[in-house]
Protein backbone atom coordinates (compact mmCIF):
# COMPACT_ATOMS: atom_id res chain seq x y z
CA UNK A 1 0.00 0.00 0.00
CA UNK A 2 1.23 3.51 -0.75
CA UNK A 3 0.15 6.81 0.71
CA UNK A 4 -0.29 9.08 -2.29
CA UNK A 5 0.07 12.72 -1.31
CA UNK A 6 0.70 14.23 -4.72
CA UNK A 7 -1.11 17.41 -5.57
CA UNK A 8 -2.68 20.00 -3.28
CA UNK A 9 -2.64 23.78 -3.49
CA UNK A 10 0.50 24.12 -1.40
CA UNK A 11 2.38 21.76 -3.70
CA UNK A 12 1.13 23.55 -6.83
CA UNK A 13 2.18 26.93 -5.44
CA UNK A 14 5.64 25.52 -4.77
CA UNK A 15 5.80 24.10 -8.31
CA UNK A 16 5.14 27.52 -9.83
CA UNK A 17 7.85 29.31 -7.87
CA UNK A 18 10.52 31.10 -9.84
CA UNK A 19 14.09 29.86 -9.70
CA UNK A 20 15.82 32.16 -7.25
CA UNK A 21 19.06 30.63 -6.08
CA UNK A 22 20.37 32.21 -2.89
CA UNK A 23 24.02 32.90 -2.39
CA UNK A 24 25.62 31.00 0.43
CA UNK A 25 26.76 33.27 3.26
CA UNK A 26 29.65 30.90 3.99
CA UNK A 27 32.37 33.27 2.73
CA UNK A 28 31.32 36.35 4.76
CA UNK A 29 30.75 34.12 7.79
CA UNK A 30 34.21 32.64 7.49
CA UNK A 31 35.69 36.13 7.13
CA UNK A 32 33.90 37.19 10.33
CA UNK A 33 35.13 34.12 12.19
CA UNK A 34 38.71 34.63 11.09
CA UNK A 35 38.44 38.32 12.02
CA UNK A 36 37.42 37.26 15.52
CA UNK A 37 40.45 34.96 15.75
CA UNK A 38 42.66 37.83 14.55
CA UNK A 39 41.17 40.02 17.29
CA UNK A 40 42.08 37.40 19.90
CA UNK A 41 45.66 37.31 18.59
CA UNK A 42 45.82 41.10 18.69
CA UNK A 43 44.61 41.11 22.31
CA UNK A 44 47.34 38.65 23.26
CA UNK A 45 49.98 40.62 21.37
CA UNK A 46 48.97 43.94 22.96
CA UNK A 47 49.25 42.50 26.44
CA UNK A 48 52.54 40.67 25.84
CA UNK A 49 55.23 43.25 26.51
CA UNK A 50 58.24 40.96 26.32
CA UNK A 51 59.22 37.30 26.47
CA UNK A 52 62.60 37.14 28.14
CA UNK A 53 63.23 33.46 28.72
CA UNK A 54 62.02 29.92 28.15
CA UNK A 55 59.59 30.09 31.07
CA UNK A 56 58.02 33.24 29.65
CA UNK A 57 57.63 31.67 26.26
CA UNK A 58 55.89 28.64 27.74
CA UNK A 59 53.54 30.73 29.90
CA UNK A 60 52.62 33.00 27.00
CA UNK A 61 52.07 30.02 24.71
CA UNK A 62 49.64 28.79 27.35
CA UNK A 63 47.92 32.18 27.31
CA UNK A 64 47.35 32.30 23.56
CA UNK A 65 46.19 28.68 23.32
CA UNK A 66 43.74 29.40 26.14
CA UNK A 67 42.38 32.54 24.47
CA UNK A 68 41.92 30.78 21.15
CA UNK A 69 40.32 27.78 22.86
CA UNK A 70 37.87 30.09 24.63
CA UNK A 71 36.98 31.78 21.35
CA UNK A 72 36.47 28.48 19.55
CA UNK A 73 34.28 27.15 22.39
CA UNK A 74 31.82 29.94 21.66
CA UNK A 75 31.84 28.93 17.98
CA UNK A 76 31.27 25.27 18.88
CA UNK A 77 28.09 26.22 20.72
CA UNK A 78 27.01 28.60 17.96
CA UNK A 79 27.30 25.77 15.44
CA UNK A 80 25.00 23.67 17.66
CA UNK A 81 22.38 26.42 17.98
CA UNK A 82 20.47 25.59 14.76
CA UNK A 83 20.49 29.21 13.60
CA UNK A 84 18.39 29.34 10.39
CA UNK A 85 20.92 31.48 8.54
CA UNK A 86 23.40 28.64 8.95
CA UNK A 87 21.09 25.63 8.71
CA UNK A 88 19.05 26.65 5.67
CA UNK A 89 21.54 28.61 3.62
CA UNK A 90 24.95 27.20 4.44
CA UNK A 91 23.55 23.69 4.88
CA UNK A 92 23.16 21.42 7.89
CA UNK A 93 25.86 19.05 6.64
CA UNK A 94 28.39 21.83 6.21
CA UNK A 95 27.59 23.28 9.64
CA UNK A 96 27.95 19.78 11.12
CA UNK A 97 31.39 19.44 9.53
CA UNK A 98 32.37 22.89 10.81
CA UNK A 99 31.22 21.86 14.28
CA UNK A 100 33.25 18.64 14.20
CA UNK A 101 36.35 20.41 12.91
CA UNK A 102 36.03 23.29 15.40
CA UNK A 103 35.52 20.80 18.22
CA UNK A 104 38.74 18.96 17.32
CA UNK A 105 40.74 22.20 17.20
CA UNK A 106 39.19 23.35 20.48
CA UNK A 107 40.08 20.14 22.29
CA UNK A 108 43.67 20.28 21.00
CA UNK A 109 44.00 23.90 22.12
CA UNK A 110 42.51 23.13 25.54
CA UNK A 111 44.94 20.26 26.12
CA UNK A 112 47.85 22.42 24.95
CA UNK A 113 46.69 25.30 27.17
CA UNK A 114 46.52 23.12 30.28
CA UNK A 115 49.87 21.47 29.61
CA UNK A 116 51.75 24.66 28.72
CA UNK A 117 50.25 26.74 31.52
CA UNK A 118 50.89 24.17 34.23
CA UNK A 119 54.41 23.60 32.90
CA UNK A 120 55.10 27.32 32.93
CA UNK A 121 53.70 27.73 36.46
CA UNK A 122 55.79 24.78 37.61
CA UNK A 123 58.98 26.38 36.21
CA UNK A 124 58.10 29.71 37.82
CA UNK A 125 57.78 27.94 41.17
CA UNK A 126 61.14 26.22 40.83
CA UNK A 127 59.68 22.89 39.84
CA UNK A 128 60.47 20.71 36.81
CA UNK A 129 58.47 19.29 33.92
CA UNK A 130 57.84 16.15 35.97
CA UNK A 131 55.96 18.20 38.57
CA UNK A 132 53.12 19.20 36.20
CA UNK A 133 50.59 16.93 37.96
CA UNK A 134 51.41 18.39 41.36
CA UNK A 135 51.27 21.92 39.93
CA UNK A 136 47.88 21.18 38.36
CA UNK A 137 46.49 19.92 41.68
CA UNK A 138 47.78 23.03 43.48
CA UNK A 139 46.29 25.34 40.84
CA UNK A 140 42.89 23.65 40.99
CA UNK A 141 42.87 23.99 44.79
CA UNK A 142 44.16 27.55 44.99
CA UNK A 143 42.97 29.53 41.95
CA UNK A 144 39.36 30.77 41.58
CA UNK A 145 36.99 28.74 39.38
CA UNK A 146 39.71 26.24 38.50
CA UNK A 147 37.76 23.36 40.01
CA UNK A 148 34.87 24.01 37.63
CA UNK A 149 37.33 24.42 34.76
CA UNK A 150 38.90 21.04 35.57
CA UNK A 151 35.50 19.33 35.46
CA UNK A 152 34.63 21.09 32.20
CA UNK A 153 37.95 20.08 30.66
CA UNK A 154 37.35 16.47 31.66
CA UNK A 155 33.94 16.57 29.98
CA UNK A 156 35.48 17.98 26.81
CA UNK A 157 38.02 15.16 26.71
CA UNK A 158 35.29 12.53 27.15
CA UNK A 159 33.14 14.13 24.43
CA UNK A 160 36.13 14.30 22.12
CA UNK A 161 36.97 10.63 22.67
CA UNK A 162 33.44 9.38 21.95
CA UNK A 163 33.29 11.55 18.82
CA UNK A 164 36.27 9.81 17.21
CA UNK A 165 34.93 8.03 14.12
CA UNK A 166 35.53 4.37 15.08
CA UNK A 167 34.26 4.95 18.64
CA UNK A 168 31.20 6.89 17.54
CA UNK A 169 30.18 4.25 15.02
CA UNK A 170 30.19 1.60 17.74
CA UNK A 171 28.02 3.61 20.15
CA UNK A 172 24.22 3.73 20.01
CA UNK A 173 23.17 7.01 18.42
CA UNK A 174 21.06 8.07 21.43
CA UNK A 175 23.96 7.52 23.85
CA UNK A 176 26.37 9.51 21.69
CA UNK A 177 23.82 12.30 21.19
CA UNK A 178 22.98 12.75 24.86
CA UNK A 179 26.63 12.61 25.99
CA UNK A 180 27.44 15.13 23.26
CA UNK A 181 24.93 17.54 24.81
CA UNK A 182 27.27 17.78 27.82
CA UNK A 183 29.27 20.18 25.62
CA UNK A 184 26.99 22.92 26.95
CA UNK A 185 27.92 22.08 30.54
CA UNK A 186 31.62 21.87 29.67
CA UNK A 187 31.61 25.31 28.05
CA UNK A 188 29.70 26.81 31.00
CA UNK A 189 32.10 25.34 33.55
CA UNK A 190 35.25 26.45 31.72
CA UNK A 191 33.99 29.98 30.99
CA UNK A 192 34.32 31.43 34.48
CA UNK A 193 38.02 30.76 34.99
CA UNK A 194 38.71 32.61 31.75
CA UNK A 195 37.36 35.78 33.33
CA UNK A 196 38.66 35.32 36.88
CA UNK A 197 42.20 34.11 36.07
CA UNK A 198 42.81 35.52 32.59
CA UNK A 199 45.33 38.39 32.75
CA UNK A 200 44.19 39.73 29.38
CA UNK A 201 40.68 40.38 30.72
CA UNK A 202 42.02 41.88 33.95
CA UNK A 203 44.04 44.56 32.15
CA UNK A 204 41.58 45.14 29.28
CA UNK A 205 38.03 45.87 30.52
CA UNK A 206 36.86 46.22 26.89
CA UNK A 207 38.08 42.68 26.19
CA UNK A 208 36.10 41.38 29.18
CA UNK A 209 32.99 43.19 27.92
CA UNK A 210 33.46 41.68 24.45
CA UNK A 211 33.93 38.19 25.94
CA UNK A 212 30.73 38.51 27.96
CA UNK A 213 28.95 39.83 24.87
CA UNK A 214 30.22 36.96 22.69
CA UNK A 215 29.15 34.24 25.09
CA UNK A 216 25.92 36.07 25.95
CA UNK A 217 24.92 36.38 22.30
CA UNK A 218 25.69 32.72 21.62
CA UNK A 219 23.70 31.68 24.71
CA UNK A 220 20.75 33.80 23.60
CA UNK A 221 20.78 32.23 20.12
CA UNK A 222 21.01 28.77 21.65
CA UNK A 223 18.07 29.32 23.99
CA UNK A 224 15.97 30.93 21.27
CA UNK A 225 16.47 28.37 18.52
CA UNK A 226 17.03 25.17 20.54
CA UNK A 227 14.47 25.77 23.30
CA UNK A 228 11.95 28.54 22.75
CA UNK A 229 11.41 28.08 19.00
CA UNK A 230 10.67 24.32 19.28
CA UNK A 231 8.33 24.94 22.23
CA UNK A 232 6.43 27.57 20.25
CA UNK A 233 6.28 25.33 17.16
CA UNK A 234 4.88 22.35 19.02
CA UNK A 235 2.39 24.29 21.11
CA UNK A 236 1.12 26.02 17.99
CA UNK A 237 0.83 23.01 15.68
CA UNK A 238 0.10 20.16 18.15
CA UNK A 239 1.26 17.27 16.00
CA UNK A 240 0.10 13.68 16.38
CA UNK A 241 0.55 10.45 14.47
CA UNK A 242 -2.32 9.90 12.04
CA UNK A 243 -1.26 6.56 10.54
CA UNK A 244 1.69 4.29 9.84
CA UNK A 245 1.78 2.66 6.40
CA UNK A 246 4.19 0.06 5.02
CA UNK A 247 5.64 1.23 1.71
CA UNK A 248 8.20 -1.51 0.97
CA UNK A 249 9.99 -4.27 2.88
CA UNK A 250 11.38 -2.61 6.00
CA UNK A 251 10.16 0.86 4.93
CA UNK A 252 7.23 2.68 6.54
CA UNK A 253 5.63 6.08 6.17
CA UNK A 254 4.46 7.96 9.25
CA UNK A 255 1.65 10.43 8.57
CA UNK A 256 1.65 13.28 11.07
CA UNK A 257 -1.36 15.53 11.52
CA UNK A 258 -1.60 18.92 13.16
CA UNK A 259 -2.88 22.48 12.87
CA UNK A 260 -1.78 24.80 10.05
CA UNK A 261 1.27 22.70 9.29
CA UNK A 262 1.93 24.53 6.01
CA UNK A 263 2.79 27.61 8.11
CA UNK A 264 5.80 25.92 9.68
CA UNK A 265 7.77 27.12 6.67
CA UNK A 266 9.16 23.73 5.67
CA UNK A 267 10.25 23.13 2.09
CA UNK A 268 10.69 20.01 0.01
CA UNK A 269 14.13 18.55 0.71
CA UNK A 270 14.25 19.61 4.37
CA UNK A 271 14.13 17.51 7.50
CA UNK A 272 13.02 17.73 11.14
CA UNK A 273 14.30 16.13 14.29
CA UNK A 274 11.40 13.95 15.44
CA UNK A 275 10.59 12.77 18.95
CA UNK A 276 7.63 10.42 19.31
CA UNK A 277 6.13 10.47 22.80
CA UNK A 278 5.51 6.74 22.96
CA UNK A 279 6.85 4.28 25.54
CA UNK A 280 10.53 3.62 24.93
CA UNK A 281 10.85 6.48 22.39
CA UNK A 282 10.33 9.63 24.48
CA UNK A 283 14.03 10.29 24.98
CA UNK A 284 15.10 9.62 21.39
CA UNK A 285 15.23 12.39 18.82
CA UNK A 286 16.20 11.47 15.25
CA UNK A 287 16.41 13.40 11.94
CA UNK A 288 14.09 12.27 9.12
CA UNK A 289 13.35 14.11 5.87
CA UNK A 290 9.88 14.99 4.65
CA UNK A 291 8.86 12.57 1.90
CA UNK A 292 6.07 14.81 0.58
CA UNK A 293 5.44 18.57 0.47
CA UNK A 294 3.81 19.96 3.62
CA UNK A 295 0.03 20.17 3.53
CA UNK A 296 -2.14 22.31 5.82
CA UNK A 297 -3.07 19.31 7.94
CA UNK A 298 -0.46 16.67 7.16
CA UNK A 299 3.28 15.98 7.09
CA UNK A 300 4.86 12.70 6.09
CA UNK A 301 8.19 11.00 6.70
CA UNK A 302 9.28 7.71 5.14
CA UNK A 303 11.87 5.70 7.05
CA UNK A 304 13.79 2.47 6.55
CA UNK A 305 14.34 0.26 9.60
CA UNK A 306 18.12 0.38 10.07
CA UNK A 307 18.30 0.86 13.85
CA UNK A 308 16.30 0.48 17.05
CA UNK A 309 14.52 3.83 16.71
CA UNK A 310 13.62 3.54 13.03
CA UNK A 311 12.51 -0.09 13.50
CA UNK A 312 10.06 0.92 16.23
CA UNK A 313 8.27 3.49 14.09
CA UNK A 314 6.01 0.77 12.67
CA UNK A 315 4.70 0.23 16.23
CA UNK A 316 3.42 3.80 16.58
CA UNK A 317 -0.33 4.10 17.07
CA UNK A 318 -2.64 6.87 15.84
CA UNK A 319 -2.89 9.68 18.35
CA UNK A 320 0.71 9.42 19.58
CA UNK A 321 2.00 12.90 20.40
CA UNK A 322 4.89 14.14 18.26
CA UNK A 323 7.56 16.69 19.20
CA UNK A 324 9.45 18.15 16.24
CA UNK A 325 12.35 20.57 15.81
CA UNK A 326 13.00 22.24 12.48
CA UNK A 327 12.79 22.55 9.58
CA UNK A 328 16.49 22.14 8.84
CA UNK A 329 18.58 21.58 5.75
CA UNK A 330 19.47 23.40 2.55
CA UNK A 331 18.77 20.69 -0.04
CA UNK A 332 15.95 22.81 -1.47
CA UNK A 333 14.94 24.56 -4.68
CA UNK A 334 17.01 27.59 -3.60
CA UNK A 335 20.19 25.77 -4.65
CA UNK A 336 18.99 25.40 -8.21
CA UNK A 337 20.65 27.50 -10.90
CA UNK A 338 19.62 25.77 -14.16
CA UNK A 339 16.34 25.02 -15.86
CA UNK A 340 16.92 21.26 -16.00
CA UNK A 341 17.37 19.09 -12.94
CA UNK A 342 18.45 15.50 -12.35
CA UNK A 343 17.45 13.94 -9.03
CA UNK A 344 19.42 10.87 -7.93
CA UNK A 345 18.21 8.76 -5.01
CA UNK A 346 19.75 5.69 -3.41
CA UNK A 347 17.58 3.52 -1.16
CA UNK A 348 15.68 5.48 1.47
CA UNK A 349 17.38 8.62 0.12
CA UNK A 350 14.29 8.77 -2.08
CA UNK A 351 12.43 10.65 0.68
CA UNK A 352 13.68 14.22 0.03
CA UNK A 353 14.00 13.48 -3.71
CA UNK A 354 10.35 12.45 -3.91
CA UNK A 355 9.27 15.78 -2.38
CA UNK A 356 11.54 17.71 -4.76
CA UNK A 357 10.30 15.63 -7.72
CA UNK A 358 6.81 16.96 -7.13
CA UNK A 359 7.63 20.57 -6.31
CA UNK A 360 10.66 21.71 -8.32
CA UNK A 361 9.55 24.17 -11.00
CA UNK A 362 9.92 22.85 -14.53
CA UNK A 363 8.32 22.35 -17.91
CA UNK A 364 7.69 18.83 -19.27
CA UNK A 365 11.04 17.11 -19.74
CA UNK A 366 12.96 19.42 -17.39
CA UNK A 367 12.92 17.14 -14.34
CA UNK A 368 14.46 13.64 -14.28
CA UNK A 369 14.60 11.22 -11.35
CA UNK A 370 16.96 8.24 -11.16
CA UNK A 371 16.12 5.83 -8.34
CA UNK A 372 18.68 3.20 -7.26
CA UNK A 373 17.54 0.19 -5.20
CA UNK A 374 18.52 -3.43 -4.76
CA UNK A 375 15.30 -4.87 -6.21
CA UNK A 376 12.08 -3.56 -7.70
CA UNK A 377 10.35 -4.50 -4.43
CA UNK A 378 12.60 -2.00 -2.65
CA UNK A 379 11.40 0.92 -4.80
CA UNK A 380 9.41 2.62 -2.04
CA UNK A 381 6.82 5.23 -3.12
CA UNK A 382 7.10 4.07 -6.73
CA UNK A 383 3.37 4.33 -7.49
CA UNK A 384 3.18 7.98 -6.53
CA UNK A 385 6.47 8.75 -8.26
CA UNK A 386 4.97 7.31 -11.45
CA UNK A 387 1.84 9.40 -10.93
CA UNK A 388 3.85 12.59 -10.45
CA UNK A 389 5.96 11.82 -13.54
CA UNK A 390 2.84 11.33 -15.64
CA UNK A 391 1.16 14.51 -14.40
CA UNK A 392 4.26 16.67 -14.83
CA UNK A 393 5.74 15.14 -17.96
CA UNK A 394 8.87 14.30 -15.98
CA UNK A 395 11.24 11.40 -16.60
CA UNK A 396 11.40 8.55 -14.09
CA UNK A 397 14.09 5.86 -14.23
CA UNK A 398 15.22 3.14 -11.86
CA UNK A 399 18.40 1.10 -11.52
CA UNK A 400 18.23 -2.22 -9.66
CA UNK A 401 20.47 -5.26 -9.34
CA UNK A 402 20.18 -7.95 -12.00
CA UNK A 403 18.72 -11.37 -11.04
CA UNK A 404 22.25 -12.67 -10.44
CA UNK A 405 22.99 -9.78 -8.05
CA UNK A 406 25.16 -7.69 -10.38
CA UNK A 407 24.99 -3.98 -9.68
CA UNK A 408 23.71 -1.63 -12.39
CA UNK A 409 26.16 0.53 -14.29
CA UNK A 410 25.95 4.14 -13.09
CA UNK A 411 29.08 5.42 -14.77
CA UNK A 412 29.80 8.72 -16.49
CA UNK A 413 29.25 7.11 -19.88
CA UNK A 414 25.96 5.55 -18.82
CA UNK A 415 24.71 8.81 -17.36
CA UNK A 416 25.55 10.68 -20.57
CA UNK A 417 23.71 8.00 -22.52
CA UNK A 418 20.55 8.31 -20.42
CA UNK A 419 20.74 12.09 -19.98
CA UNK A 420 22.56 13.40 -23.06
CA UNK A 421 22.70 17.03 -21.89
CA UNK A 422 23.56 16.15 -18.29
CA UNK A 423 26.30 18.79 -18.12
CA UNK A 424 23.61 21.48 -18.32
CA UNK A 425 21.64 20.08 -15.36
CA UNK A 426 21.60 20.82 -11.67
CA UNK A 427 21.86 17.53 -9.78
CA UNK A 428 20.33 16.83 -6.38
CA UNK A 429 21.23 13.53 -4.77
CA UNK A 430 20.64 11.68 -1.54
CA UNK A 431 21.73 8.21 -0.47
CA UNK A 432 24.28 6.21 1.54
CA UNK A 433 27.81 7.71 1.68
CA UNK A 434 29.40 5.12 -0.62
CA UNK A 435 26.64 5.49 -3.19
CA UNK A 436 26.80 9.28 -3.04
CA UNK A 437 30.57 9.27 -3.54
CA UNK A 438 30.44 6.96 -6.56
CA UNK A 439 27.63 8.96 -8.16
CA UNK A 440 29.47 12.21 -7.49
CA UNK A 441 32.55 10.90 -9.29
CA UNK A 442 30.42 9.70 -12.20
CA UNK A 443 28.69 13.07 -12.45
CA UNK A 444 32.01 14.92 -12.48
CA UNK A 445 33.25 12.55 -15.16
CA UNK A 446 30.11 13.29 -17.16
CA UNK A 447 30.92 17.00 -17.14
CA UNK A 448 28.65 18.30 -14.34
CA UNK A 449 30.43 21.13 -12.45
CA UNK A 450 30.88 20.52 -8.73
CA UNK A 451 28.95 23.69 -7.89
CA UNK A 452 25.84 22.21 -9.49
CA UNK A 453 25.94 18.90 -7.57
CA UNK A 454 23.85 19.37 -4.45
CA UNK A 455 24.09 16.85 -1.62
CA UNK A 456 23.85 16.87 2.14
CA UNK A 457 25.84 14.30 4.09
CA UNK A 458 26.23 13.95 7.86
CA UNK A 459 29.24 11.64 7.84
CA UNK A 460 31.96 13.49 9.83
Question: Which residues of the chain, if any, have pLDDT below 70?
Answer: 1-26, 457-460
**CA pair distance 287, 351, nearest whole angstrom:** 12
Amino acid 425: pLDDT: 94
Amino acid 25: pLDDT: 54
Cα-to-chain-centroid distance, residue 279: 27
Amino acid 404: pLDDT: 85
Q: How many CB atoms are located within 10 Å of the residue 27 CB?
A: 9
User: Which of the 8 DSSP states describes residue 22?
Assistant: P
Amino acid 460: pLDDT: 46
* Strands 322-328 and 271-276, bridge-based pairing: antiparallel
By C-alpha distance, which of 173, 330, 316 is closest to 253?
Answer: 316
**Cβ contacts of 121 within 8 Å, gap of 6 or more:** 59, 135, 139
Amino acid 3: pLDDT: 45
**CA pair distance 183, 158, nearest whole angstrom:** 10
Quick one: what percent of the chain has pLDDT higher than 70?
Answer: 93
Q: Is 354 helix (H, G, I), strand (E, B) or coil?
A: helix
Domain at 9-20+234-328: CATH code? 2.40.30.10
By C-alpha distance, which of 365, 351, 368, 350 is closest to 291?
Answer: 351
Amino acid 47: pLDDT: 87
* Strands 271-276 and 425-430, bridge-based pairing: unpaired
Percent of the chain as helix, strand, coil, to the nearest 5:
55, 15, 30
**CA pair distance 389, 391, nearest whole angstrom:** 6
Amino acid 359: pLDDT: 93
By C-alpha distance, which of 454, 391, 223, 373 is closest to 382?
Answer: 373
Amino acid 8: pLDDT: 42
Identify whether the C-beta of residue 99 lies closer than 8 Å to the C-beta of residue 80: yes
Q: How far is CA 452 from CA 85, 327, 449, in A?
A: 21, 23, 6
**Cβ contacts of 347 within 8 Å, gap of 6 or more:** 304, 372, 373, 374, 378, 431, 432, 435
Amino acid 459: pLDDT: 54
Amino acid sequence: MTTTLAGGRAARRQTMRRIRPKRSPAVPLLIALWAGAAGVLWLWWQNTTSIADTTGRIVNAGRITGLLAGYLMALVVLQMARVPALERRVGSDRVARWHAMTGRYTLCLVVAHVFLTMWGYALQGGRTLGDIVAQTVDSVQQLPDMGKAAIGTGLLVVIGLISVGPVRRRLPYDLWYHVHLLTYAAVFLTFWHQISTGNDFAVEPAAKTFWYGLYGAVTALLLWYRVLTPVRLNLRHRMRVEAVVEEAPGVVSVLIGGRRLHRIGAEAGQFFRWRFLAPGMRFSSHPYSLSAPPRPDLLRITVKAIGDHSARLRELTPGTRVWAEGPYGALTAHRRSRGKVLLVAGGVGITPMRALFETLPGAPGDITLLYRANTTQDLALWDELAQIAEERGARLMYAVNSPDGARPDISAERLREKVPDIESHDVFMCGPPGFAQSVYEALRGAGVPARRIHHESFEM
